[in-house]
Amino acid sequence: MEYRLFGRTGAHVSPLCLGCMMFGGKTSPEDSYEIIDRAIDAGINFLDTANVYSRGNSEIVTGEALKRNGKRHQVVLATKVHGRMDDDDPNAAGSSRRHIIDQCDASLKRLQTDYIDLYQIHRPRSDTPIDETLRALDDLIRAGKVRYIGTSTFEAWQFMESLWVAKELGLNRFVCEQPPYHILDRRIERGLIPLAQTYGVALIPWSPLAGGLLTGKYSRDTQPPEDSRFADVANNPRLQARMTNDIFDVVDGLKPLADAKGCSIAQLALAWCMNQPGITSPIIGPRTMEQLVDNLGALEVTITDEDRATIDGLVPSGRMVSPFYEADFGPHQYRWS
């Protein structure tokens, strides 16, 4: 495994991050333990979850897995805060000092650990000043509960504002951003990637397979597999809106590249993402062991300049395929205000 510097921190992480969203939800605890063990044995040392995933169950299962295998101190363990954790409490969501500190303590208990390596704000919050958020996170770092802090789905200007506020107030700064990024949505190449390269910010993209659309399991001519995310597409207008001819045109264009390399389309898409300039570690989110094994195969796939040129021909740099991605995966969609 060739590990990468995590931004300007000096810490090293694997070129793929194991996303734990499915664990404790669609993936049973026992299967989750096996997937986590297999990933760590393969060299993955970076795990990402969130308090809101299955309302804490993902953290519970992830923490139990690391307790069972005794490898907590070998991994960079990341979680997130911001999503609603109690439907009856108006303060049980957001980026306020109250919510952040309460949820950090709750996450520590669920994860069965004394510290969180990376604590991230899950979405930007327009009604909470960034200094309120940063002061709370800075206190958690000084208390030894958190080692690094980061963001998810912040726009470039929002991340830049946070760097300025941290400098002005003498606070610990965000060291990473977790944006949506994949072949079908390359918008962060316009501003966020140049910002990250300039200021030493790690980028750990979520949904590098576009919610499964870049796995090759879907086509315009066949019904989705029964156990897939799009199985109920016929009765779900939102899912129908994602399956556009433009997207299938891109997937069809990727197939010859994958075939020539002897890899799956998913492996090609992951390899492209992890080898794009400025990218540190894309987050994979396997639901099954089979999906994990396929994802790990991306580590063996080489992306050439010719491959990049071909993919640029399918989706130009900085562009996005189909307007629905603006609604489904755009930063403004996830403010949870």
Q: Which of 220, 272, 217 is nearest to 246 (CA)?
A: 220
- What pLDDT score does 189 carry? 97
**Residue-wise over 255-273: b if at least 16 C-beta within 10 A, else e?**
eebbeebebbbbbbbbbbb
pLDDT tens across 198-226, in order? 999 999 999 999 989 999 887 777 666 66
C-alpha span between 30 and 68 (Å, rounded): 11
- Taking CA 325 as the corner, what is the angle to CA 16 and CA 297, rounded to the nearest 5 degrees? 25
Query: What is the set of active-site residues?
Result: 53
The model's pLDDT over 266-282, given as tens digits with 9 standing for 90+, comes to: 999 999 999 999 999 99
For residue 331, pLDDT over 50 is answered with: no
At 158, the pLDDT band (50, 70, 90 cuts) reads: very high
Quick one: what percent of the chain has pLDDT higher than 70?
A: 90
DSSP 266-280: HHHHHHHHHTSTT--
CB within 8 Å of 102: residues ≥ 6 apart: none
Full-model pTM: 0.93
What digits encode the pLDDT tens for the residues 63-109? 999 999 999 999 999 999 999 999 999 999 999 999 999 999 999 99
Estimate the crossing angle of helix 265-274 against helix 245-261, to 10 degrees.
90
